[in-house]
Structure 1
Amino acid sequence: MHPARRPNRGPSAAAENRAALIAAAREVFAGAGYNAPLSMVARAAGVGQGSLYRHFPDRVSLALAVFEDAVADLEALADEPGSTLADVLDLITEQTIASTAFIDMVSVPPMDPDPRLIQVRDRVAKLLAGALPEARRAGRVREDLGPDDLVLAVGMLAGVLAKTPAPDRRETAERVWTLLRRGLEP
């Protein structure tokens, strides 16, 4: 059951509507994927599509608002002293289990990539690149492994998890990483 549409309170409701749209999009993208109809997001937020498009003129704008926290969490973890590549990949895996839409958005750019998505992808690749030297020194990854390889591996994980029922995602993620590590490790 979708929430009832709230009465239009005009500009005074703008911040509340924006927050409701972001929360609804997070849930809709998690359940139906990144390409879910935006009308589902508006309905789930209890606002009209006009309100959605006033705040977010396109799907990418909405997705960036939804997933900014996820990227910020990854960057904060990568900046922590003692943080390892495994820690970052574990958090990415948890985020992917919760919502494959995030990784779909950053790992497989469309044929004509939106520069904003490339920026997010580059932020994720940069934090992975920052964790690689320590992992190489410790002998946990191959010397020739690059951040783009890791983004590809995470995209592969997301592709599998997107087709996996939510209750089975954690176990499937563990199996996928077991297989992928064979190619990533020396």
Structure 2
Amino acid sequence: MPKVSEAHLLARRRQILDAAAVCFARDGFHRTSMQDIVRECGISAGLVYRYFAGKDEMIAEIVREWHAHRAAALTSGDGTEAYLGLLREIGTSEAPDARLALQVWAESVRSDELRALARAGIEQAVRATGVESEALVRVFIAVYQGLLVQTAWDEELDHGAFVDAVAEIVRRVAQR
């Protein structure tokens, strides 16, 4: 059997995670079957199971990727601009699917693993910002989460106006 490259393995894993995310966002975690994911990604069930033991593992990996993306963004230069950049990203293909994010947060109430991942993501963001006030960082995390919630509910939401308003709040806080 020919060996496949690491790049090929990573691309296949990405294909499966992307298909799972589409299914989860569309139908929810509990209504999505492994067969739905197999159908969405167009590969055999055996191949999907070669990469992931099941849906829970896929969900956890999607969340880990979100946290890694946000942490990298927050530590790449000016913290304020990085944060505003993350807000601007919401509603684009770069951001977590808002419907999927809502499901993750809801499921974190039931799943110890997802709750631990959610808490770790917040703690990581608190550390990444370098801001002394953890409470202030948590307020801005709540703003991020709130924008995701509103994005899931309101397809006509003016993201630009929302981010401009947050930028004004940040500017005023910085002047104090």
TM norm structure 2 = 0.62
Shift of 1:93: 4.4
What secondary structure is seen at the aligned counterpart in 2 of 1:146? helix
Query: How does 1:17-166 map onto structure 2 within 5 Å?
Result: 17-29=12-24, 32=26, 35=29, 37-38=32-33, 39-49=35-45, 51-53=47-49, 55-80=51-76, 82-98=77-93, 99-101=97-99, 103-104=101-102, 107-108=105-106, 110-131=108-129, 133=131, 145-165=135-155
Shift of 1:43: 0.9
Distance 1:28 1:45 in 2: 10
> Is residue 107–residue 121 contact of structure 1 (8 Å, CA) maintained in 2?
no
Change (3 A) 1:89 1:106: farther
What secondary structure is seen at the aligned counterpart in 2 of 1:133? coil
Question: Which amino acid is 1:70 matched to?
Answer: W
Shift of 1:114: 2.7
- Among the aligned pairs, what percent are the same residue? 14
Shift of 1:22: 1.7
Shift of 1:88: 2.6
Distance 2:27 2:150 in 1: 13
Distance 2:126 2:145 in 1: 14
Report the number of matched residues. Answer: 162
| Unmatched segments (≥5 aa) in structure 2 | none
Distance 1:79 1:144 in 2: 16
Q: 1:12-57 deviations in whole A, cap 9, x for unaligned?
A: 8x94753431232244456x27536244322111134555455333
| Unmatched segments (≥5 aa) in structure 1 | 1-8, 135-142
Shift of 1:161: 0.8
Shift of 1:100: 1.4
What secondary structure is seen at the aligned counterpart in 2 of 1:57? coil
What secondary structure is seen at the aligned counterpart in 1 of 2:160? helix
> Is residue 42–residue 48 contact of structure 1 (8 Å, CA) maintained in 2?
yes
Q: 1:94-113 deviations in whole A, cap 9, x for unaligned?
A: 15543215643665553223
Shift of 1:75: 1.9
> Is residue 25–residue 62 contact of structure 1 (8 Å, CA) maintained in 2?
yes
In the alignment, which of 167, 174, 182 is matched to residue 160 of structure 2?
Answer: 174
Question: Which amino acid is 2:78 matched to?
Answer: S
